[in-house]
Copies of this chain bind each other. A is one copy, B any other.
Amino acid sequence: MSNNIKNNLSRRDFLKAGGAATAATGLSLAGISSATAATCSTLPEKWDETYDVVVVGSGFAGLSAAIEAKNANASTVVLEKMPVPGGNSTINGGCIAVVGSDVQKARGITDSVDAMMGDMLKAGLGLNYPLQARIVAERTNEAYEWCKNYLGVKFKDKITQFGGHSIPRSLTTQNQSGSGIILPMLAKAKELDIHVKTKVYVKKLINDEQGRIVGLEVITRFKPGKETSTKTKFIKAKKGVVMANGGFAADVNYRSSQDPRLDEKLRSTNHSGATAECLKEMVRIGANPVQLSWVQLGPWTSPEEKGFGMAPLFATYSAFAHGIMVSPKTGERFVNELADRKVRADAIVKTGDIGIAFCDSIGASHSSHVMDKLLGRKVVLTFDTFEELAAHYKIPVKALLAQIERYNSYVEKNIDPEFGKPFSMKQVAIKKAPFYAVRLWPKAHHTMGGVEIDTKARVMNMVTRDVIPGLFACGEATGGTHGACRLGTVAVPDCLVFGRIAGQNAAKA
């Protein structure tokens, strides 16, 4: 049965209430007619603004949706709660997993959609929505080419094998930051005359008597703490509302209801705006929340830094790829440093202690671009000998030396019999002083769960599992694509691919 029918009034209630409802006041029938329905609505007496497509959120997904909608001739606005656009996308590493990129081809690396799907489903523990996951994998190269050729994004001529990926397929923006994509997107939005409005907080989604989402009630000039302000504006969306509001990893109160371990003691890599109010509002209006208890912890964050920090760059490009991580308790490795994020983060937590990740000066050269800052902030420390390193972190030195020798022998044999770490990045033994080290403790990074969408990015109704007309969602706001664990560098293509799909479909809705 359709959401539409569900939201309609039972005949009995209609006869009971209808008379008074249509009488007097500017209140539409919807206010009463859906009084017993899955959601209810009061259409405003007048709309303050009207667009074809209203996009909520200005990260990769939101801006992709807005650009596509505008290019499909829909008048489009982007609403951003924060004072600056970009959300987590601007502070992310700017890495994108791409199947069949020019860079892979130039290096003779064979890859396939099935291989990337396989990696996603393995990390996702089979919870992934297969169709959504495949669409992301299939369209990674199209999204990457769109960034390069249409947006003018500059990528490094460099390829990396990220944790959980069976093949090197991850590319990075020149400035190794998501801002390398967000800034060109904002420039394109300006060029296309798409207004990106900041400090606009979504208070309510508004549906009509048929249950179609027709607009939003928003708080303008929003300041944190003013969430309940009644000084609101009504914005009409003639064709569709695209929710690209991101995840809720920074929302301690809400995330801890899904995973009680994620209390205030556990920090987040996210910006302070990564909270759950839009998720809750979509659920209120009838959306189906799926897989919400899967919150990803980043294994590469440093307790010495706030938020995401820069430690993840050193850990990913140098320490994990070309070095090892040991427990200070034992001096021994406890996980494949290139396993997926969940495996690594769970492994660190399980040791009950900080992880110490380090590499030699050759390994460190792979993150030279950030090294000055990391050393200046004392997030990464250098040591002339392994003994000094062991002494500083109070690691049993004999065990550490034995571990390093053992690991180096694996590198030379090109096989890790202990943890199965892949040596496909021309790893060399950890030998050349000085040695660079970082302390690591996980932080809440990505919320895999969100609202259910279909392959057209249409939001599904919880009761009927039919689409909610007029409502679209993409990016971290949605659940299912990544299942139990989102692989590193797959968030960007997910946001680009489904952001574009959402914008294209909203424009013709």
Contacts and interface: CB of A to CB of B under 8 A. Distances in A.
A41 B17 CA distance: 12
Interface in A224-250: 228, 230
A243 to B, nearest CB: 16
Nearest to A42: B35
Q: How would you classify the secondary structure of chain A's contact residues: helix, strand, loop or mixed?
A: loop
A279 to B, nearest CB: 9
Contacts of A396: none
A311 interface: no
A1 B140 CA distance: 43
A107 interface: no
Interface stretch (A67-75, A143-151, A329-337, A459-467): A459-467
A257 B35 contact: no
Interface residues of A, number: 64
Contact of A261 (B31, B126, B284): B126
Contacts of A20: 20-21, 23-25, 27
Interface stretch (A162-170, A288-296, A377-385, A412-420): A288-296
Contacts of A42: 13, 17, 32, 35-36
B449 A257 contact: no
A495 B349 CA distance: 30
A37 to B, nearest CB: 8
Interface string A1-30: 100000000111100110111011111000
Interface in A121-147: 125-130
A11 B230 contact: yes
Interface in A438-456: 449, 452
Interface of A: 1, 10-13, 16-17, 19-21, 23-27, 31-32, 34-36, 38-42, 45, 125-130, 204, 217, 228, 230, 253-254, 257-261, 280, 283-284, 286, 288-294, 346, 349-350, 449, 452, 460, 462-463, 465, 480
